[in-house]
Structure 1
Amino acid sequence: MSNVIALPRVLRIGAGALNDLSVLLTDLGCRRPLIVTDEFLTSTGAVARLGQSLAAAGIEFSVFDRVVPDPTTDSLRPAVDMARADGCDAVVGFGGGSSLDTAKAVALLATTDRPMRDFKAPTTTDQPLLPLVAIPTTAGSGSEATRFTVITDSETGEKMLCPGLAFLPTAAIIDYTLTMSMPPRLTADTGIDALTHAVEAYVSVKANPFSDGFALTAISTIASCLRSVYRDGSDEQAREQMMLAATQAGIAFSNSSVALVHGMSRPLGAHFHVSHGLSNAMLFPAVAEFSLPGARSRYADCARAYGVADDGVSDEVAGERFVDELRRLNHDLAVPSPRTLGVDAERWSALLPTMAEQALASGSPQNNPVVPTADEICEIYRRIY
Structure 2
Amino acid sequence: MEGFCIRTKIKEYDTFKEFANDEQLGPDDLILTNEYIYSPSIEPLGLGCQTLFQEKYGAGEPTDNMVNAILDDLRDKNFTRIIAVGGGTIIDIAKVVAVASPEDHVDDLYDHKDSLKKHHELIIVPTTCGTGSEVTNISVINRVSRGVKMGLTSPSMYADAAAMITNMLATLPYKVFATSSIDAMIHAVESYLSPNGCSISRIFSEAALRTILKGWSLSVENGGNEAWKAYSADFLKASNWAGLAFGYAGCAAVHALSYPLGSVYHVPHGQSNQLMFADVMRKYKEIKPVGRINDLENLLAECLGTKPENALDALYALMDKVLKKEPLRSFGVKESDLPVFAKNVPQTQQRLLKNNYVPLTEAQILEIYKAAY
Common topology (TM > 0.5): yes
Q: 1:295 to 1:130 in 2, by over 3 A?
A: farther
Is the 1:73–1:152 Cα contact (8 Å) retained in structure 2?
yes
For 1:134-145, list aligned pairs within 5 A. Answer: 134-145=124-135
Give the AA of the match of 1:84: R
Is the 2:30–2:50 Cα contact (8 Å) retained in structure 1?
yes
Residues 278-314 of structure 1: per-residue CA shift (max 9 Å, x gap):
0111111111111234474422333333344799x9x
Q: Does 1:336 align with 2:325?
A: yes
What is the CA–CA distance in structure 2 between the aligned matches of 1:226 and 1:161, rounded to whole Å? Answer: 29
Matching residue of 1:209 = 199
Give the AA of the match of 1:92: I
CA shift, 1:378, in A, is 1.4
Q: 1:18 to 1:73 in 2, by over 3 A?
A: farther
What is the CA–CA distance in structure 2 between the aligned matches of 1:3 and 1:116, rounded to whole Å? Answer: 30
Structure 1: segments with no counterpart, 5+ residues: none
What is the CA–CA distance in structure 2 between the aligned matches of 1:89 and 1:79, rounded to whole Å? Answer: 17
Matching residue of 2:138 = 148
Matching residue of 2:295 = 301
What is the CA–CA distance in structure 2 between the aligned matches of 1:228 and 1:120, rounded to whole Å? Answer: 43
Q: Does 1:128 align with 2:118?
A: yes
Matching residue of 2:86 = 95
Matching residue of 1:71 = 62
CA shift, 1:158, in A, is 1.0
2:118 alignment partner, SS class: coil
Residues 311-352 of structure 1: per-residue CA shift (max 9 Å, x gap):
9x9xxx72x4332123212321233324463414xxx22222
Q: Which moved more, 1:273-282 or 1:99-108?
A: 99-108
Q: 1:181 to 1:229 in 2, by over 3 A?
A: farther
Is the 1:198–1:215 Cα contact (8 Å) retained in structure 2?
yes
What is the CA–CA distance in structure 2 between the aligned matches of 1:290 and 1:101, rounded to whole Å? Answer: 30
What is the CA–CA distance in structure 2 between the aligned matches of 1:266 and 1:208, rounded to whole Å? Answer: 26
Q: Which moved more, 1:116-125 or 1:356-365?
A: 116-125
Is the 2:304–2:314 Cα contact (8 Å) retained in structure 1?
no
What is the CA–CA distance in structure 2 between the aligned matches of 1:227 and 1:340, rounded to whole Å? Answer: 29
Q: Does 1:290 align with 2:252?
A: no
Q: 1:121 to 1:148 in 2, by over 3 A?
A: farther
Q: Match for 1:32 among 18, 23, 28? A: 28
Matching residue of 1:376 = 364
Matching residue of 2:252 = 259
CA shift, 1:240, in A, is 0.8
What is the CA–CA distance in structure 2 between the aligned matches of 1:15 and 1:187, rounded to whole Å? Answer: 19
Q: Does 1:326 align with 2:315?
A: yes
Q: Does 1:80 align with 2:71?
A: yes
Q: Quick one: percent identity of the two aligned structures?
A: 25
RMSD: 2.7
CA shift, 1:125, in A, is 5.7
Give the AA of the match of 2:296: C
Is the 1:201–1:215 Cα contact (8 Å) retained in structure 2?
yes
Matching residue of 2:165 = 175
CA shift, 1:227, in A, is 4.0
What is the CA–CA distance in structure 2 between the aligned matches of 1:191 and 1:166, rounded to whole Å? Answer: 27
Q: Which moved more, 1:75-84 or 1:300-309?
A: 300-309
CA shift, 1:163, in A, is 1.4
Is the 2:267–2:331 Cα contact (8 Å) retained in structure 1?
no
What is the CA–CA distance in structure 2 between the aligned matches of 1:84 and 1:296, rounded to whole Å? Answer: 54
Q: Does 1:196 align with 2:186?
A: yes
Is the 2:215–2:228 Cα contact (8 Å) retained in structure 1?
no
Q: 1:241 to 1:221 in 2, by over 3 A?
A: same
What is the CA–CA distance in structure 1 between the aligned matches of 2:170 and 2:227, rounded to whole Å? Answer: 6
Matching residue of 1:23 = 22
Structure 2: segments with no counterpart, 5+ residues: none
Q: Match for 2:98 among 86, 99, 107? A: 107
Residues 45-97 of structure 1: per-residue CA shift (max 9 Å, x gap):
23423xx3523xxxx42333326311111111232233331212221211111
Give the AA of the match of 2:336: A
1:173 alignment partner, SS class: strand
What is the CA–CA distance in structure 2 between the aligned matches of 1:53 and 1:206, rounded to whole Å? Answer: 46
Total equivalences in the alignment: 365
For 1:230-241, list aligned pairs within 5 A. Answer: 231-241=224-234
1:152 alignment partner, SS class: strand
Give the AA of the match of 2:371: R
